[in-house]
Amino acid sequence: MKPDYRIYAYFTDQKEADVLFSRLRARKARVKKAHGMPCQGLISRGGVIIIGPEVWDNICYRQGAWFRHSAQANKTLVTSPEPLDDMGEAVVITPSDFIPSRLPNDEEKQQLVNSEIYKDQMPEEYGINAESDIQQWKKFRLRLARRLGIDPAGLEADTQRTFLNHCANHANFLDPRFYLEEDGKKVPYSIDTTMNLCSACVEFFNIIGREYPVKYVAPCPGAVLAADLPADKYFRVEANYSEVKR
């Protein structure tokens, strides 16, 4: 990851995204369309990346339910290492030195997923921990372990406990119990290590927890593998950012 890493993320309609794509291509600027996972939008070295709504239905279909049931459903995500003209307010993602004072234990994670706010907002299909999905995120964790030089034998084997970690992390951005305060406002953060997270894209791109415009987000295994983000590193995510070109 470059030391000056910075990503500007915008949601727009497909027509505007197509116009942007054509304009950038005409200028021979670096622009491409993602076809794999939304976290490809976190790549800083690839220029502008356009992520259509269909991408959320691909590899991470269950996790994409957060997008499909959000205020951004059916919109196109555009990410760029530089602010873009006339795209409106951005979500800006930058590295931080944040380290949480502590992470929750299993009982506290269960309390997070028992939150009525979380249960009301969780898409029904996200709560179905199917065997095919379990095998998918097991493969992601195994690939990450190999990249980080971790003995796979030491990975958490209890799939229900791992799924609890995934759910509790999202719950903390909807009904924060673990947060810091900045200017008297809650700033929630990821409540586990990268190996135990999933679908961090929904926090990185401010799809959930929109009531909390500042977040500290750690990447999930997919974001490390697809976008080369550092494991266990927290990023500051700031929505409604005003530093955009006009």
> Tens digit of pLDDT for each residue in 174-231?
999 999 999 999 999 999 999 999 999 999 999 999 999 999 999 999 999 999 999 9
**What average pLDDT does the structure give for the chain?**
92
pLDDT at 241: 52
CB 48 within 8 Å of CB 128: no
| pLDDT bracket for residue 151 (50, 70, 90) | confident
Q: What are phi and psi of 221, to 5 degrees?
A: -55, -40
Report whether pLDDT(3) > 80.
no
| pLDDT bracket for residue 155 (50, 70, 90) | confident
| pLDDT bracket for residue 48 (50, 70, 90) | very high
Report whether pLDDT(242) > 80.
no
pLDDT at 134: 86
- pLDDT cut 70: percent of the chain above it: 97
Q: What is the largest CA-CA distance in the chain?
A: 55
Report whether pLDDT(114) > 90.
yes
Structure token digits, residue 11: 């949601």
Q: Which residues of 99-119 are buried (b: 16+ CB within 10 A; e: fewer)?
A: ebeeebeeeebeebbebeebe
pTM confidence score: 0.93
pLDDT at 245: 34
Structure token digits, residue 167: 């759910």
Q: 168 to each of 54, 112, 161, 213, 214, how far by Cα in Å?
A: 26, 5, 10, 19, 19
For the segment 93-100, the average pLDDT, to the nearest whole number, is 97
- d(CA 22, CA 27) in angstroms, rounded, equals 9
State whether residue 173 is helix, strand or coil.
Answer: helix
Neighbours of 69 (CB within 10 A): 17
